[in-house]
Every structure is written in structure tokens, then in C-alpha cells.
């Protein structure tokens, strides 16, 4: 961390402290100590997912290739938390897409490292027509994936022996049919497109990450409201997504500056 700024170190320390504090406070009373799964979920997987995810996004904002090493752990653990929370789109995204993309991104960034650097990548910017095409394709993909998740929801809820669906809960709050599934799908598609832009070293990825982080923070807040018993493991995850949002704004500023430099 010798090349980290004071802001980056302080940002990391604050959010890691929040995650650990939330774990200590809520897992202490909210864990079923007769159930090994409850202990593992509340005391290990939830804080591990949050802290490795925070390291991952901080390094991504800096343009450091090491982000992908932390991303492997974060994707594996967060996928399980999404499964427990009932966000099946997020589960599939992390296990089927993000895990292999950590390897793909690592190999792609190795080819775009800055001169005289073994860590930091060269950044670039999208042209206006590329940006419009990305947004149009993303909106269409989110709509189609949302319809698919909506059709799968009742089957998954029954197959996994759940008493209720988080999608149904969100539909009831919004008063809009299929809104929960579309809400979930929008984050998946945005993350897919953002990860592609990230692998290609485009600064505009951070606009998509900002949207993802806002939507997903709301989604995890709804998990806690819908099921207060989820607080021990869902609150660290919510804090993680708020941390991601702060980081994505910083990443946008940092990468916009980097894209203007004559590295390419």
C-alpha cells in the first residue's frame, strides 16, 4: 500500500471497520450456534465477501491488476450470499460469469500495463457512438433477462423450499408486476457490460458501476426489511455495496484522468 493515497487508505479502513463492527454486533446475537451453517454464514462468509470485495473495487479504481486476485474470492463468496438472499440472477452472475471473468480480465490487463509498470493499466475512453450502443444493448438485455427471471422465480422458490420470494415482496412494494425480477436483472446486465468495459480498460465502466451500486444497495436493504433475521449476514453486504458506491465515484474521477494521459 506504499503507493496508495491517504484517501484510499482511510476509505478502506473506514468501511472494513464498519463491516467488522456490524458482524460483531449483529452476528453475536443473530447466529444460531447449534447450526454450523448459520455460524459459517454470519461469521465467515458474509464479512469475507464484504472485505475482499472492498479490496477488489479499491484496486480496480486505482487501475491495479491485483484487483482480479481479490475478485476471485469476492465472486465465490458473494454468489453464495445472493443464493441465500433469493437473488438468483446475482447468484448466477457471480458463479457463472464473474469467476471466469477474473481470469479473462487479468490476462487482458497484462497486455495493457503502463510502460515501466507491472501493476497499473493503461486507460481509455469510449467514443460517443460506442457509448450509445452499449446503453441500448444493455436496456434490451435487462428487459429480456428480467422476464426470464420472473418466469423462473416460482420454480426456484419451490425447488429450494423457500417460504417466500424476494421478487414477490418487491412487486408488492412497487405495485408493478415483474418489477422485482427486472430490478434484479438490471443489476446483472449492468455488471456484465461494466465488467466487459473494465476488461477493455474503458473509463465509462464506472458510470455503470455507479448505477449497479445504487440499485443493489436498495435491493439488500429490502432483504433486511423483508426478513429482519437476515440482518447478521445481510447488513455487512449492504455496507459493502455502499462502499462500492463511494468507490465507483472515485474510480470514475481517477479513470477519466487516466484516459486523458498519453499512455496509449
Please provide the DSSP assignment of 43-67 as one string: IIIHHHHHHHHHHHHHHHHHTBTTH
- With b meaning 16 or more CB within 10 Å and e meaning fewer, what string describes 168-203? bbbbeeeeeebbbbbbbbbbbbbbbbbbbbbbebbb
Q: Percent of the chain at pLDDT above 70? A: 94
Which stretches within 112-229 are classed as H helix?
Answer: 128-159, 166-174, 179-199, 205-226
| pLDDT, greater one: 181 or 124 | 124
pLDDT computed for residue 124 by the predictor: 94
Domain span at 12: 6-115+125-260
Does residue 1 lie in a domain region? no
Average pLDDT over residues 125-130: 92
Average pLDDT over residues 1-27: 89
Q: Among all chains, which residue has been given the C-alpha cell 455487512? A: 236
Average pLDDT over residues 118-142: 92
Average pLDDT over residues 176-205: 87
Confidence of residue 146 (pLDDT cuts 50, 70, 90): confident
- Asked if residue 159 has pLDDT above 80, the reply is no
Residue 17: exposure state from Cβ atoms within 10 A (0-12, 13-18, ≥19): exposed
Cα 206 to Cα 213: distance, rounded to the nearest angstrom: 10
pLDDT computed for residue 200 by the predictor: 95
Handedness of CA 113, 117, 120, 123 (dihedral sign): negative
Q: For residue 89, what are the CA distances in angstroms to 85, 92, 166, 182?
A: 11, 5, 12, 10
The tally of domains found in the chain comes to: 1
Q: Are 38 and 96 in contact (CB under 8 A)?
A: no
Q: Provide CB contacts within 8 A for 212, sequence distance 6+.
A: 187, 190, 191, 194, 244, 248
pLDDT computed for residue 187 by the predictor: 82
Confidence of residue 147 (pLDDT cuts 50, 70, 90): confident
- Asked if residue 34 has pLDDT above 50, the reply is yes
Average pLDDT over residues 135-149: 87
- Write the pLDDT tens digit of every residue in 54-104: 999 999 999 999 999 999 999 999 999 988 887 777 888 899 999 999 999
CB atoms within 10 A of CB 71: 28
Beta-bridge mates of residue 64: 120
pLDDT computed for residue 100 by the predictor: 96
pLDDT computed for residue 183 by the predictor: 75
Average pLDDT over residues 1-22: 89
pLDDT computed for residue 29 by the predictor: 83
Confidence of residue 263 (pLDDT cuts 50, 70, 90): very low
pLDDT computed for residue 261 by the predictor: 76
Q: How far apart are the first and last CA of the chain?
A: 26
C-alpha grid cell for residue 98?
Answer: 464473474
pLDDT computed for residue 160 by the predictor: 45
Does residue 194 lie in a domain region? yes
Stated as kind and residue range, the H or E segment containing 36 is: helix 36-40
pLDDT computed for residue 13 by the predictor: 93
- Asked if residue 142 has pLDDT above 70, the reply is yes
Give the 3-state secondary structure of residue 124. strand
Does residue 92 lie in a domain region? yes
Give the 3-state secondary structure of residue 221. helix
Amino acid at each position: 500500500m506504499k503507493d496508495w493515497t491517504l484517501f484510499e487508505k482511510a476509505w478502506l479502513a473506514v468501511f472494513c471497520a464498519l463491516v467488522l463492527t456490524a458482524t460483531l454486533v449483529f452476528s453475536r446475537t443473530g447466529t444460531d450456534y447449534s447450526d454450523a451453517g448459520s455460524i459459517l454464514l454470519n461469521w465467515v462468509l458474509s464479512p469475507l465477501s464484504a472485505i475482499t470485495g472492498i479490496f477488489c473495487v479499491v484496486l480496480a479504481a486505482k487501475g491495479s491488476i491485483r484487483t482480479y486476485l481479490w475478485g476471485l474470492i469476492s465472486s465465490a463468496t458473494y454468489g453464495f450470499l445472493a443464493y441465500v438472499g433469493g437473488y438468483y440472477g446475482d447468484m448466477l452472475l457471480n458463479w457463472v460469469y464473474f469467476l471466469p471473468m477474473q481470469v479473462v480480465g487479468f490476462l487482458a490487463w497484462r497486455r495493457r500495463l503502463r510502460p515501466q509498470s507491472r501493476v497499473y493499466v493503461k486507460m481509455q475512453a469510449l467514443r460517443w457512438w460506442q457509448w450509445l450502443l452499449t446503453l441500448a444493448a444493455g436496456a434490451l438485455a435487462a428487459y429480456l433477462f428480467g422476464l426470464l427471471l420472473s418466469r423462473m422465480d416460482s420454480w426456484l422458490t419451490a425447488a429450494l423450499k423457500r417460504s417466500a420470494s424476494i421478487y414477490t415482496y418487491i412487486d408488492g412494494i412497487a405495485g408493478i408486476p415483474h418489477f422485482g425480477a427486472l430490478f434484479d436483472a438490471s443489476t446483472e446486465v449492468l455488471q456484465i457490460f461494466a465488467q466487459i468495459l473494465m476488461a477493455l480498460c474503458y473509463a465509462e465502466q464506472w458510470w455503470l458501476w455507479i448505477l449497479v451500486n445504487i440499485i443493489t444497495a436498495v435491493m439488500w436493504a429490502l432483504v433486511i426489511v423483508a426478513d429482519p433475521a437476515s440482518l447478521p449476514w445481510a447488513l455487512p453486504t449492504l455496507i459493502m455495496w455502499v462502499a462500492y458506491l463511494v468507490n465507483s465515484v472515485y474510480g470514475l474521477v481517477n479513470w477519466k484522468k487516466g484516459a486523458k494521459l498519453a499512455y496509449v
